Amino acid sequence: MVGTMSAAAVAVWLGSVVSILSRSHADRSVYPSAGVLFVHVLEREYFKGEFPPYPKAGDANSDPITFNTNLKGYPDRPGWLRYIQRTQHSDGVLYGSPTAENAGRPSVIEITAYNRRTFETARHNLVINIMGTEEFPLPYQAEFYIKNMNVEEMLASEVLGDFLGAVKNIWQPDRLNAINITSALDRGGRVPLPINNLKEGVYVMVGADVAFSSCLREVESPHNQQRCSQEMEPSISCDKKFRAQFDIDWCKISLVDINRVFPVYITRPEPGNGILPEFGLYDPPSETLMSRNYFSDFLITLAVPSAVAVVLLFILGYTMCCRREGFIQLVHHNSIQKSSKELRSMSKNREISWPLSTLPVFNPVSGEVVPPLHPDNYETTSMPLMQTQTNLQNQITIPQQRPSGDNYVMSTFRRLEVNGIPEERKVAEALNL
């Protein structure tokens, strides 16, 4: 394939190979001590030289770069090693406290830098050789909770140095070192609201070779313990040495003397050779398996509930029809139905006075009788119990005027009843005045 390529194409291909190989740098080794805080900063400036420069002048530092770290051959880092990068334009930090169990075994950490603008990558290896010494960890350990700091701010060398200096002033040890730093979010803390520049909080553990000072012991007094139980600030005499830069929650301070802590040994079984014991040859099932008959299951599923239903129905029919108690209940139910029908029929025949809106209307001009608003078969049970109009007399005389002349007609209505249903029949008499 190379023989068929032109000279320019070969030159470009070789240049790309050289460019890719130039990004594989030699491993970088560090030698942390077990029981001492390890901090390694992944500087963006260190990786920028491996990416093409930004085309615009003055924007060389604007490339967003992120990092991915993992133990070589594994998808994640060792358990004691943590990583944090707040934004794509800030440096990444590897930090943690190696233990004596990890001493003597080098750990190769693969660091992959991603340029989010050009999507190019660069890879470095960091070899961590943990040194085990008898001096560490120091026997007296104190853990402070700092409320106004984030973990990446506390990992800065100058900030951590200021804190250790303040602790040394109140403790006065010969040797003092930071053992571990943990974010409050890793301890179950809540993410702070983005207001008033609130911080996540950080736990800082330091160790010393001398016993705890009287200032650190003040938090153990009954008075301060009572104030802490009431969520009040305890009175600590040396708090003013921290207050200028570090806001410490003294109620969450932890003092541990490892000389008084008894180690717990866990017996582990001896590892085997990794070979399973002999169980004989594998005998797979036959290819010609007999089909299962589900007819009996079908009968059991339907026949049993059906038989139970038939028995219950027979017992219910015998109880209601053949037993004296059941027959009495049927007769009682039938009598209730008959009484209800009789009451309904009687309610239709009750005598009530019809309202004016139900009476026939006589037009004295045309002589036409307009039917009532309600027919004769109107159900009286729906009539209101209290009438809004007064009952009419047996006769009502209404004078009517003729179309011409001075003569008047007197129309007389007489109230009659037929079959218990009120009706109105007009009787007109012409009177000449």
From its phi and psi, is residue 201 left (phi > 0), alpha (psi between -120 and 50) or beta?
left
The span from the CA of 369 to the CA of 112, in Å, is 106
DSSP 320-371: IIISHHHHHHHHHHHHHHHHHHHHHHHHHT---PPPGGGS-EE-TTT-PEEP
Measure the CA–CA gap between 50 and 229, rounded to whole angstroms.
56
Bridge partners for 93 per DSSP? 41, 84
Please report the pLDDT score of residue 272 as a whole number: 65
pLDDT(106) > 70: yes
pLDDT of residue 10 exceeding 50: no
- Does the pLDDT at position 302 exceed 60? yes
**13-62 per-position pLDDT tens digit:** 333 333 332 344 557 899 998 889 999 999 888 888 778 776 665 555 67
Q: Are 115 and 121 in contact (CB under 8 A)?
A: yes
Confidence of residue 6 (pLDDT cuts 50, 70, 90): very low
pTM of the model: 0.54
Better-predicted residue by pLDDT, 185 or 407: 185
Q: What is the mean pLDDT of residues 332-346?
A: 83
Mean per-residue pLDDT over the chain, rounded: 75
Of the two residues 354 and 2, the one the predictor is more confident about is 354
Which residues in 130-146 are b (16+ Cβ under 10 Å) and which e?
beeeeebbbebbbbbbb
**In the predicted model, is pLDDT for residue 165 greater than 50?**
yes
Residue among 365, 360, 348 nearest 425 (CA): 360
Neighbour tally for 18: CB within 10 Å = 9
pLDDT at 163 over 90: yes
Cβ-proximal residues to 361 (8 Å cutoff; 6+ apart), any chain: 369, 370, 372
Strand partners, 30: 128
Summarize pLDDT for 62-102 with one digit per residue, the tens.
788 999 999 999 999 998 999 999 999 899 999 999 988 88
* DSSP strand pairing (121-128 vs 28-30): parallel
The C-alpha torsion from 323 through 329 and 331 to 336, rounded to 10°, is 180
pLDDT at 357: 52
**Contacts within 8 Å (CB) and 24+ apart, 18-27:** 22/50, 23/50, 23/122, 23/123, 24/123, 25/124, 25/125, 27/108, 27/124, 27/125, 27/126, 27/127
CA 432 → CA 94, 311, 365, 399, distances in Å?
126, 90, 16, 12
Q: What is the pLDDT of residues 196-227, one digit of tens each?
A: 788 999 999 999 989 999 989 998 899 999 99
Q: What is the pLDDT of residues 348-404, one digit of tens each?
A: 766 555 555 555 555 655 656 556 555 555 555 455 544 444 444 444 444 544 555
Burial class (CB in 10 A: 0-12, 13-18, 19+), 152: buried
The two three-digit tokens of residue 33, written as one number: 């001590």
